[in-house]
Amino acid sequence: MRVLSPEEELQYLAAAAKESIDLADVATIMVLQGPRPDEVMSLEQAHVDLRNRHFTIWDTSAKGKSKNAHRKLKMTNETFRIFERRLSIPGVWVFPSSKNDGPRTTLQKAHERAARGKKNHNGEYEGGCRIECRLYDMRHTFATRFALAGGSLPVLAKILGHADLSLLMRYVHPAQADMDRAMEWYSSMQTPGPELEKMLLEYQDGKNQSEGWPRPTFGPTTPEKLAQIGPTRPNLRSRRIS
């Protein structure tokens, strides 16, 4: 598994565009939105809602890996532009096959040429971006970037089409530098005990709710349990990081 850096992403997509516009579009949607490659290639035009900027993955229970794979995703601006261009050509499929009436089912050869290049008469590879990766790594890249940007993990699981959080560890791959930055951020963002206690009490009293102050996802839910937090060392053991 590999998480591409922004520079590697640009290099790969440039090489992909030279090999196949289908590959470039599928890879771009994957790195921006996180779907599996077969989920993108099997999209029907009827399931792309340009007006509301949504696209539906696996519209029936007979399709997809599980019921959790059936989901509707909001388009990013770049994804919208890709779908808008593709839907300008009427048809059933967003990525139609050039061999039959169905959708495209594989991009493996185009991906290998984009990543490794092509063999010359001496058996050596030429061209390509020379980045060792799989097309599926675009999904890993999206998941890792989403998590490191502070995105909610339960929401990420839904976006990826997973039933629970346990499968996320296969997709999110933070580096040491990411962990270091996270700890520096957490250290700077900790709320002093007295202030935290005041925030929780104000929420229990109904203050700040009208201003959209979110309900705490950790700590006690009643004033009687506030003693568990203590004045200087809040108990964040059950806090959900989002």
| Domains along the sequence of the chain with CATH | 6-136 (3.90.15), 191-228 (no CATH)
Q: Identify the pLDDT of residue 13.
A: 97
23 is written with which tokens?
Answer: 């590959």
pLDDT in tens, the chain (242 residues): 788 999 999 999 999 999 999 999 999 999 999 999 999 999 999 999 999 999 999 765 555 556 678 899 999 999 999 999 999 999 999 999 999 999 999 999 999 999 998 877 777 788 889 999 999 999 989 988 888 888 888 888 888 887 766 666 666 666 677 666 666 766 676 556 666 666 666 656 655 544 544 444 444 444 444 344 344 344 444 444 33
H or E stretch at 109: helix 108-116
Q: Identify the pLDDT of residue 231.
A: 43
Q: Identify the pLDDT of residue 222.
A: 45
Q: Which residue has the tokens 């792309």?
A: 48
User: At 48, is the secondary structure helix, strand, or coil?
Assistant: strand
136 is written with which tokens?
Answer: 């599926």
Distance CA 4, CA 7 (A): 8
| Sign of the dihedral defined by the CA atoms of residues 130, 131, 133, 134, in that order | negative
CA distances to 140, 160, 175 from 167, rounded to whole Å, are 12, 10, 18
173 is written with which tokens?
Answer: 């791959």
Directed axis angle between helix 153-160 and helix 137-148, to 10°? 160
CA distances to 91, 151, 191, 242 from 218, rounded to whole Å, are 50, 17, 13, 12
Q: Are 107 and 19 in contact (CB under 8 A)?
A: no
